[in-house]
Structure 1
Amino acid sequence: MESAELRELLTAEAIALLDSLPAYSSATDVLKIVSELRKAGHSASLVATVLTQAKLRAKATGKFGDFAQRMLFTEAGLEQATRLPVAALHAGRFVRAGLTRVADLGCGIGADALAFAGAGISVTAVEADEVTAALAAYNLSPFPEAEVHHGTAEEASLENVDAVYLDPARRTSGHSNTQRLTKSEDYSPSLDFSFGLSGKLPTGIKLGPGFDRDLIPDHCEAQWVSVNGDVVELGLWFGSLARPGITRSALLLTREGMHELAAGADAPDAEIAEIGDYLYEPDGAVIRARLIGDLARSLGAHMLDEHIAYMSSNTAVQTPFASTFQVEQVCALDVKVLAKELARRGIGTLEIKKRGVDIDPAEFRKKLSLTGKKSATLFLTRVGERRMAVLAHRHGEPSDRNSP
């Protein structure tokens, strides 16, 4: 979004026109809407601007729910924004710590600042990109507790706050088609600056879930967050925002509720043994937090290999922290053998999972020449130097064990 487009968007005419549009979906007849709006006398640029926002609002519903219908976005801003339920959890930490005045440095379009303000926290949101800062100001306008400043995190005044929250930019600048930064030293603000603030004020820092664990400071709580199986962030919490005795945690937000596995340190590995009747695939947050050993012991399960995250047991135990599969067959990882076995079982729909092997599941699937009406899950992995394939089905679904 360029400055000219922003100026056109932030007018009474544009906002009224945007709010009047029907809900956008993949079935929306865009040409019909464009034609009607042009006939009504609206300029081509205004029509394009409001339709882009309508499309972004529809896309944002997954992150913001009904709030999306009164917000403004850039494509990159929406992609990088914290999901509102996760932002609410961030705000909850500040509330429980008794912190009432927060500086949100690198606020983006204002997702976390919305949660802070909604929790009654006075928030000063700072954003280096001028267009994004203007959109954040619009999104936060209903909240008198929030104010937005255009500027850098490094230059922001912290005189009137009692805590800091940072979401360092981890992608190249721009409002669309940005690229992920592969080197942490390129983050903005820098990690040195962000970590340095933690020695002065209670501090929360949002990072990508794949952040190098070796760079995590010792004096903080590191929490990996998963939403419906998708690991979305790593949160580092310092000072009173960190919980006593916890340095590693995996927080799962699922359709059934919220679940957490926490510990004072990385969990020691569980016992190593051969595969049993059931296979467990831990949630990605559990894997990132290195709490696999604790989870395995709580399930009465064992690990298959110290370098592979799969676990196994002879008894199924339901857990929100892992998906459970009933093992049908274990064999060598040989495409010809597998193709023959899958054909014999009439399996035409196959979910392929892999760990520890250099295989492209899409290319591997083509070689299997699947036909049939049944479905299954195929794990491609290794134990030590042995490559193996495990045919299974999700626990609770019909078994193919008795197929001819």
Structure 2
Amino acid sequence: MAIDVAHYEGREQAFVKHTFLDKYLPALIGKVCSRYDEFVYVDGFAGPWKSAAGENFDDTSFGIALNHMTSQRLLYLSRGRNVRMRAFLVEKDPSSFAQLQRAVALYPKIEITPLNGKMEDHVAAIVASIPQESFSFTLIDPKGFPAIGSMMPLLQRQNAEALVNFMFDFANRFGGTDLIPALEEWLSTSAPDDWRKRIKAVSGEQRERLYEELAVQALRQTSGYVYAPVITVDKVLHNRPLYKLIFLTRHSEGLKVFRDSERSALDAQAITRSASKAKKREACTLMGDLFADGFDAVPNDRSTQVIRRSEEEASRRLQAMLTTANSGFCKWKECWPPILEELSVTHSWLGRHVNDRRKAGQISAPAWPSERTQIPRDEQQLRWNG
């Protein structure tokens, strides 16, 4: 399913998030359903919110998920595997819940349970209904801050991944004021004594990084995930973050899928923000595309800059890692996860970068399979020649 950008005018941030989900979910389901007999999607704040796609809900998170679940189930049926697909969709607003109930009939291949009320009140029942051996993906994407502690039984499942929205813009404006108790609960988990003092002592990018660090740390230490990379979704017309999407996985393969999907989302963000700024400028100045290649162009967008800086830093980290390897060699499977955890680069980009350095004589890679091989295999030994 291809999501239609025309449905996202005025809510471009949702387009960025949905681009990620549209890339991530089929890759996730395709991987886990080769091992698990049941996949469960949980959307704790399902909406639909401001859907413009009509009754097919293709521009909603749950619509994207259910479409991919349907496609993947049919694919596995064609291969002789009957993978059970279930979804729990929670929404407290009565009018939105009525729309959610109508959506159930559109997906007869999926066992959908729509639940009216607050997500916090349904978590225990949802967890109890998911077998231990099933794999679940949970989306926690409220308009504000959830009572994150009540979500932990879902997040703490061992066979699970999750995406959690941290509303940075709200936190940046109201953090430390006692106006948002759920935010206080969330951040106090990681720094109960001094987080307010630390926040007040910094500003700008330092403050943004600290909020992100505190939010991620609280989720990781409570739910036991190994990796928790973040996508920053910016305001459309301003170079400031709106919210942070925190991804949780226990496996390096999940990290690999995340970075591929993040790249699609960041590219979408650069394009939509640049187009919106150009449209705004044109409306204000009547100068058309005179400056179309200037400050607001895609190469100058914050998302594009994140990718560019990440690739530069990844190259430096790789060199340092190989230079300081105790045995002189480092296996590829030991190199890429720590780099992908911290930097917005894909596994394939980093692998091709290794191959380019190998061809240039900067990296030794004994027993490289063939010149057709572009990305190292997991057991491939690498050494920096210096």
TM category (shorter chain) comes to 0.3 to 0.5
Q: Which has the higher strand share?
A: 1
Q: What TM-score results when the alignment is normalised by the length of structure 2?
A: 0.39
Largest Rg, 1 or 2:
1
